[in-house]
Chain A
């Protein structure tokens, strides 16, 4: 089935460690996004990429890094510089052709710092 796969679903990190969240899509979408969601809050954009080998910072990029070496993959690294990384992380993708194309989301990854 086509879709967006995020892994792991749950991740625990010790303070000072970097962790990488995986996002893979087989929808042939050009653009991919990473959002962060804190409890009871809306989604905030971390990074986005419209084409391979190119990405831009979103509203809360500090403490995060990404890469886009393949069209299908957009991994997010939460670095030790991110002071409050405990949150729910959502990856999304969409085609860049057309006007009304929809953004689709993966099932999310829960990151907890212990």
Chain B
């Protein structure tokens, strides 16, 4: 079964607009972490933001925020005031078993975001 689902293969947004990238996940482990990474055309994976399953508040990092809805198993990334440099692939990922276990990171298929001037 797909553990991480990103339903938007591609998105086009005007510069300076806010954008929401969707991510839903599936796990029965009460302890897990959710990550968002940005992958520009160069290929490197850039860490953006992290949300723990026990965190009471939504994570924020500069222009990035994570809209965490635990009951819906949703962890959408919100980018405020988009910039041309935000054009890239974005991956949602989950790590299960934060206390014990292998703590492997499982990735979604990604969303290609294009910011138009």
Question: In the complex, are the beta carbons of B91 and A99 less than 8 A apart?
Answer: no
Residue of A nearest to B33 (CB): A100
* Size class of the A contact interface (CB-based, 8 Å): 20 to 34
With A41-B109, A43-B91, A43-B107 in contact, do A108 and B102 touch (Cβ < 8 Å)? no
Q: Tally of A-B residue pairs with Cβ under 8 A? A: 63
Contact of A108 among B43, B91, B107 (CB under 8 A): B43
Count B interface residues, CB 8 Å: 26
Question: In the complex, are the beta carbons of B47 and A102 less than 8 A apart?
Answer: yes
The 8 closest A-B pairs by CB, nearest first: A105-B45, A42-B107, A43-B107, A108-B43, A107-B44, A42-B109, A99-B98, A100-B52
- Residues of A participating in the B interface, judged by any CB pair closer than 8 Å: 31, 33, 35, 40-45, 48, 50, 56, 58, 88, 90, 92, 96, 99-100, 102-108, 110
- Residues of B participating in the A interface, judged by any CB pair closer than 8 Å: 4, 31, 33, 35, 37, 42-45, 47, 50, 52, 91, 93, 95, 98-99, 102-110
